Amino acid sequence: MTVLFRRTRELEAQIDEYLDLIIQGGMLFRQGVKCFLEHRSDEFEVRLQELRNTEERGDMLRRGIESKLYLHTLIPESRGDVLGLLESADEVLNVITATLLRFSIENPELQDDLNPLFRDLADNAIDTVEATVSGCRAYFRNLAAVRDHISRAQAFRGEVNRIAETYMRAVFRRELRLSHKNQLRRFVTHTEQIAEDADDVCDRLAIAAIKRYV
């Protein structure tokens, strides 16, 4: 971040910390899904609470960063782009948390033989998030690397879409109640949305990077 924030070390550290929280949230989501699939309900609830705490810390930190950007007129030439990246990244953390919370509330009856597929879906969704966060870090540190991270994120997002379709096709071919099929479809869609929201961050990131090149 030294290129962009030569005299704003505190802000640099806070943005790094915020991005770390998104990575931590993704890790907790992975662990939570694994616990749910393995019917370890107590551990699942622990991971969910940790994720909710992480989201809360992220919200507080993001608001502090935004206040500094506005009140102290820091990086005026890039402030709008940075704020947009933070807000869209915050939506990713929100949907990660909301998706795991839905597991706790609805307790869906997943199909055990399809659990490896659902695990792949969740893993690739979080891989998309992690590649996106790497792209955000590169925006501040190594602008030339942004494009590669965006490409990786888009590749993971494509895999998420493929796995989601495979899972839903398998579900709807089964002799299950329509309500059960629709519930499973919703959980696939919610998990898929994590990657879609990360892809939205990548769209903002690509535009922000181009503007810094101009």
Q: Which domains does the chain have, with CATH numbers?
A: 9-213 (1.20.58.220)
CA 100 to chain centre: 12
pLDDT for the residue numbered 132: 98
For the chain, the 3-state helix, strand and coil shares in percent, each to the nearest 5, are: 85, 0, 15
pLDDT for the residue numbered 7: 52
Question: Can you tell me which residue has the tokens 């502090």?
Answer: 64
Residues 129 and 179: their CA atoms lie apart, in Å, by 30
pLDDT for the residue numbered 80: 81
Which is nearest to 132 in space by CA: 94, 89, 95? Answer: 89
pLDDT for the residue numbered 170: 97
pLDDT for the residue numbered 82: 86
Q: Can you give the pTM of this predicted structure? A: 0.92
Q: pLDDT means per 10 residues in the chain (214 residues)?
A: 57 90 98 97 98 96 85 65 90 97 96 97 98 94 93 98 98 96 97 97 92 71
